[in-house]
Structure 1
Amino acid sequence: MMLWTVDPAARDAKLAHKAMKKQGERYVWVLIEVACASAPDHLVAVRKAYREAYSASLEEDVAACPLYKDPLLKQFLVRLVSSYRYSGELVDDELARAEAAELHDAVVARKQPLHGDVVRVVSSRSKAQLKATFERYRLDHGKAVDEVLEERRSDQLAAVLKTAVWCLTSPEKHFAEVIRSSIVGLGTDEESLTRAIVSRAEIDMRKVKEEYKARYHTTLTSDVNGDTSGYYNGILLTLVGPE
């Protein structure tokens, strides 16, 4: 309820601050979600709320975070949280073709998914332009860029890039995965489950539920219902809504 009732920008600022104090892929996810899964103006509001709450900028705290050892990973995260993307639908097809080739060269040919070209493209282009670039990649190379990155999931940089690609172009895929991974196995990752449902309840929960059902052949509602109880269960199911 505390996450649900607070202002969304203040909530995401708090989540980002907390994520930088814990190690692991799930906490890197939080920064990528804040930077990529919402509108550019929301990220600006988050940065403002972060400054007011912690007397520091989000980007400088990411840059100074000792948990991010890999300099390429740190550079990528700093660029993501400090970006301000064009939010319109205008697309340059020639640019999409050229940058699809650059991405293929980086991700496949050089076996290094986060060198300078990838950081520049993914951290600066509009969501519409990135969708066009990723579609051109699929047409030219016979496989979607996120599928290629998924095959290299054991590589932290590839996994982080795949998360950013999903959050930028189809966030329902990412949040369906977050919810599923928080439920399967022993125990429940209540922190991740709560964050995913609260943050998407008023944005794209319908798409998240559709993606969840298509991928896992069960409903999000039934899995939440089977893994939680009491008032917590009631609040989550209210936010999820009917299937």
Structure 2
Amino acid sequence: MASQGKGYRGYVKDFVHFDAKKDADMLRKAMKGLGTDEDTVVKILACRSNAQRQDISAAFKKAYGRDLVDDLKSELTGKLENLMVALMKTPVCYDAHELRNAIKGAGTSENVLIEILASRTKDEIENIKKTYKKEFSTDLESAIMGDTSGHFQRMLVVLLQAARDQNPRADENLVEKDARALFDAGEKKWGTDEDLFINILGNRSVAHLRRVFDAYMKIAGFHIEESIERETTGHMEKVLLAVVKCVRNVPAYFAECLYKAMKGGGTDDATLTRIVVSRCEVDMLDIREEFRKNHGQSLYNMIQNDTSGDYRTALLLLCGGKED
């Protein structure tokens, strides 16, 4: 599934007057000796594209015989360190490492598995699987199967197959049938036929599912999300809702995830960092629009109010300027 925006909808772009050697020199100067100039580190790394950051890393090693990521880890701390180190990974490597951490940490972080696997495109999933195997010498599918169970596990495995139909047109002969089948498997049935939900939501094309959701609304009188909330619970409910929301609108899904990460007491900085890093060059402009439309305030203002220091500066640079 991809963003609904046309063309390039990320915010972070290639820095126009880019000089990898100059940036490497400035970073070395900012980090050597007593104290670290965090402001310089942030203003370089948060204002370069991922490809340019890889060039800076190579120039840094060539000039100083040092690993830039190792230096960032030793000179920075906490949330800022996590954000800067995340920016230095390629997008596919970052996704693979986030999935690995979600599985191998103390307890499984199911929300990370859901967020990544429900939102990435077919090609992105295939590349994540290859990178995971290369980085960790094990299959991502085996890792997930060893750490999850039941219908939730089955839905994740279906998403991992990256076998979703890519037809840009709905199969009109199947739309009504699928909508009716989903209704019968949930609202009309005592208990829920989760396998049918997994098969249809995990394999039909995005264009087709959008038409199915419209037909479902006519049959049931309410949105399919409401049925999922009534008929399922726990992680299975979360993954089905994430798939439906990503089929409808990927940027709106991420806007909601960001809002939930910051609302109420305390901020979920892991989620905030992950989404900003992974979407800043993909569809951040669309996410900002959806955030304002659906949550009544700008993403910029919410980050401004919920974070602080150099960490806040970096997030705001990655998300774009003030929108008001």
TM over 0.5: same fold? yes
Aligned counterpart, 2:71? none
After superposition, the C-alpha distances for 1:187-213 in whole angstroms (9 at most, x for unaligned) are: 221101111112221222222222222
| Counterpart amino acid of residue 48 in structure 1 | K
Gap change, CA 1:18 and 1:112, over 3 Å in 2: farther
Where do 1:163-178 residues align within 5 Å?
163-178=242-257
Deviates more, 1:142-151 or 1:118-127: 142-151
Aligned counterpart, 2:120? 38
What is the CA–CA distance in structure 2 between the aligned matches of 1:59 and 1:169, rounded to whole Å? 26
Gap change, CA 1:112 and 1:42, over 3 Å in 2: farther
| Counterpart amino acid of residue 207 in structure 2 | A
What is the CA–CA distance in structure 2 between the aligned matches of 1:111 and 1:188, rounded to whole Å? 39
Query: Computing the radius of gyration over CA atoms, which structure comes out larger, 1 or 2?
Result: 2
Count of residues paired in the alignment: 238
Structure 2 spans left out of the alignment, 5+ residues:
1-83
What is the CA–CA distance in structure 2 between the aligned matches of 1:189 and 1:34, rounded to whole Å? 16
What is the CA–CA distance in structure 2 between the aligned matches of 1:34 and 1:198, rounded to whole Å? 13
Where do 1:141-220 residues align within 5 Å?
141-150=220-229, 155-220=234-299
The alignment status of 1:62 with 2:164, answered yes or no, reads no
> Displacement, 1:42?
0.9
Does 1 or 2 have the higher relative contact order (CA < 8 Å, sep 6+)? 2
| Counterpart amino acid of residue 180 in structure 2 | A
The alignment status of 1:9 with 2:9, answered yes or no, reads no
The alignment status of 1:139 with 2:218, answered yes or no, reads yes
Where do 1:91-110 residues align within 5 Å?
91-110=170-189
> Displacement, 1:153?
7.5
After superposition, the C-alpha distances for 1:157-184 in whole angstroms (9 at most, x for unaligned) are: 2232111211233122321222112112
What is the CA–CA distance in structure 2 between the aligned matches of 1:206 and 1:138, rounded to whole Å? 30
Q: TM-score, normalised by structure 1?
A: 0.88
> Displacement, 1:150?
4.0
What is the CA–CA distance in structure 1 between the aligned matches of 2:228 and 2:254, rounded to whole Å? 17
The alignment status of 1:85 with 2:156, answered yes or no, reads no
Structure 1 spans left out of the alignment, 5+ residues:
none
The alignment status of 1:53 with 2:132, answered yes or no, reads no
What is the CA–CA distance in structure 2 between the aligned matches of 1:113 and 1:194, rounded to whole Å? 36
> Displacement, 1:29?
2.8
Cα RMSD (Å) of the superposition? 2.1
Gap change, CA 1:57 and 1:168, over 3 Å in 2: farther
> Displacement, 1:36?
2.6
Are 1:88 and 1:128, in contact at CA under 8 Å, matched by a contact in 2?
yes
What is the CA–CA distance in structure 1 between the aligned matches of 2:110 and 2:190, rounded to whole Å? 22
What is the CA–CA distance in structure 2 between the aligned matches of 1:197 and 1:86, rounded to whole Å? 28
Gap change, CA 1:169 and 1:32, over 3 Å in 2: farther
| Counterpart amino acid of residue 119 in structure 1 | I
Aligned identity (percent) is 29
What is the CA–CA distance in structure 1 between the aligned matches of 2:294 and 2:218, rounded to whole Å? 23
What is the CA–CA distance in structure 2 between the aligned matches of 1:98 and 1:38, rounded to whole Å? 27
